[in-house]
Structure 1
């Protein structure tokens, strides 16, 4: 923008200077020509007055003196054909002046001035002088150079002023851009300093107001989520007491484990809701241990519903750029979709493999009818759920630098692959 403003000012200045200096240069040339012609005509006036009465010898002497003083040829053509002064052949202009007409004509290399002198007994005499082009344009070149230098100086001054103005205009715009980028990086404390023209100050104030409003909305959202999550603790406590009162120890332990997992999820929601927006990325975790733990948890429900579970874990540790709670929530969302969208007895497979370049590939494939297409869209589902499960998994993958892919499994069911990136701070 700064260069464009400078180019605009330069183009405008040049156009104005051309419109002003070109006519002025032509006027200077015309003035120089008129000055040279006027000076030559004035030198001839003394001879013109003497031509009517002086004898030829006196006229010859006068013509030679004027020619010597002015440096220009002066010739007198008498009616009898005599030529006095500087020898010059009779030109068409002289022939025309002999008829009683005085004028100035453009000749080869200069201007020819002829003056008809009437009143002599023998007819009309003609006084002629010639002004060369060098005399007609004397001082014009220097004047043009001065004008060109003046124009160049004005253009440079215009560029200097335009650059200063553009810099004062662009600097606030750059600061606004930097603040907007910081806000995009979740630095909600970034604020712009209102500087520059009134319009830019107004934009800076609007951007600061927007940033403050975003902070307020996020604060309200965090508080609402935290309050909602906190309210869940009461029914969770009641559910735990009910589980502990069961007669069958295995049922009590299974339900208590489920309540513990739900309570951990609620605690994670509260922690996430109250977390500052500029906190560093979550630490990584060892994916194999988390996947094994969650598959074991879901295996109990799978056994109750007659589902065969296959777990394929790659050997060795598989660190990923995702916290254990987030990875567990993502896997729970994927397995929850299997139980929600496939009939009882449908087998499924969980595979965890190493990813080239670091990270891991987590795949959940089932033998069911396939996942509905609208289940991929957040908040929409024809399966009786909220439609947020896959979005949770997708956001978890994206936070680690990966993504979520939905394809068909080899048996015709749904296959969900979670690509997880490596830890950013191993």
Structure 2
């Protein structure tokens, strides 16, 4: 923008100067020619009284004095054919002046000034002088140089003023861009100082208001999450007591583990909300091998009850990834939960965790009917669920520097590949 404003001002300045300086330069040349012509005419007219009345010798002496003073050739044509002064041919202008008409004409050597003199008994005499072209344009080149330098100076001044003006416009815009990027990077305390034109000050005020509203909304969201957690404490405690009152120790342990998992999920949700509201918080790191192994072991109990064969391939750990342990556990639960929700009992599935140079790849494959169309869309489900499981997994993968891919296996079952990046540093 700054460069474009400077280019615009330079273009306008040059066009304006051309519009004024070209006619002015032509006027300077015309004035110089006219001034020189008038001076030469006045010198020639000073001979009129002498040529009209004096003797031949007097005319000759006077003409020689004028030539010496002016430096221009002066010729006097008498009616009897006598030529005094500088030798010169009888030009058409001289012939016309011999009939009594004074005039100025252009010639090869310059500008020819001829004056008809009345009063001699033989008839009109003619005084002729020639103004050389060098004398006609004397001082014009210097005047044009001064005008050109003045025009260049005006262009430079215009560019300096335009640069200052552009700077006063671009600086607030740059600050607005910087603050918007800081807000995008979760620096919610960033504010812009209103400056520049009224429109930019209004935009700065709107951006500051937006940042304040974001802080308020995030604070309200955190409070709502905290309230939700507090409300869930009571039913979770009741579930824990009910689990402990079960007579079968295995059932009691399984239900208690489920309650513990739910409580961890709620606590993780609160921590995640608080982490997102803290700009100084760093990205959590977890061991993918430990988390995946623990969650597969948990789901293996249900798989055994439903007659599903589980194949687990874990790369040796630790395998650090840029996702919190609770969040990664929720992702694994979502992927495995989809297997149980969308495949009939007895359908085998496999979980494979491998590491490579790009990070960690988690693959969950089953031998069921495959994924329905649109299963990856948030809120889309064909089995009566919330339809958020795959979306949670996808968002976690993107937050961890990876991505989620859904496909179909060789046998027709669904395959989910979750790529997780390694933590920075």
Mark yes or no: TM-score above 0.5: yes
Report what 1:7 is aligned to: 7
Once the two structures are superposed, what CA deviation does each residue of 1:217-275 show, in whole Å capped at 9, x if it has no partner? 12212222222232222221111111111111111111110111111101111222233
Report what 1:346 is aligned to: 347
Q: 1:226–1:273: 8 Å Cα contact kept in structure 2?
A: no
Q: 1:76–1:127: 8 Å Cα contact kept in structure 2?
A: yes
Report what 1:264 is aligned to: 264
Report the CA distance between 1:104 and its aligned residue: 0.8
SS in 1 for 2:204: helix
1:140-179 residue pairs with structure 2 within 5 A? 140-179=140-179
Report what 2:278 is aligned to: 277
SS in 2 for 1:112: strand
Q: 1:9–1:159: 8 Å Cα contact kept in structure 2?
A: yes
Once the two structures are superposed, what CA deviation does each residue of 1:354-409 show, in whole Å capped at 9, x if it has no partner? 1224x210000111111122221112222211111111111111111111111111
Q: 2:286–2:321: 8 Å Cα contact kept in structure 1?
A: yes
**Greater displacement, 308-317 / 395-404:** 308-317
Cα distance in 2 for partners of 1:278, 1:355 equals 31
1:318-333 residue pairs with structure 2 within 5 A? 318-333=319-334
Q: 2:290–2:317: 8 Å Cα contact kept in structure 1?
A: no
Residue 24 in structure 1 maps to residue 14 in structure 2? no
**Greater displacement, 159-168 / 255-264:** 159-168
Cα distance in 1 for partners of 2:197, 2:323 equals 46
Distance 1:130 1:273, change over 3 A: same
Root-mean-square deviation (CA, aligned residues, Å) is 1.4
SS in 2 for 1:258: helix
Cα distance in 2 for partners of 1:45, 1:189 equals 90
Report what 1:301 is aligned to: 302
1:221-232 residue pairs with structure 2 within 5 A? 221-232=221-232
Cα distance in 1 for partners of 2:356, 2:334 equals 21
Cα distance in 2 for partners of 1:31, 1:411 equals 100
Q: 1:327–1:396: 8 Å Cα contact kept in structure 2?
A: yes
Report the CA distance between 1:83 and its aligned residue: 0.8
Report what 2:139 is aligned to: 139
Report the CA distance between 1:43 and its aligned residue: 0.5
Contiguous gaps of at least 5 residues in structure 2: none
Q: 1:367–1:411: 8 Å Cα contact kept in structure 2?
A: yes
Cα distance in 2 for partners of 1:230, 1:380 equals 30
Number of aligned residue pairs: give it. Answer: 424
Residue 362 in structure 1 maps to residue 365 in structure 2? no
Report the CA distance between 1:168 and its aligned residue: 2.0
| TM-score (norm: length of structure 2) | 0.96
Cα distance in 1 for partners of 2:224, 2:409 equals 40
SS in 1 for 2:46: helix
Contiguous gaps of at least 5 residues in structure 1: none
Cα distance in 2 for partners of 1:337, 1:279 equals 35
Q: 1:223–1:273: 8 Å Cα contact kept in structure 2?
A: no
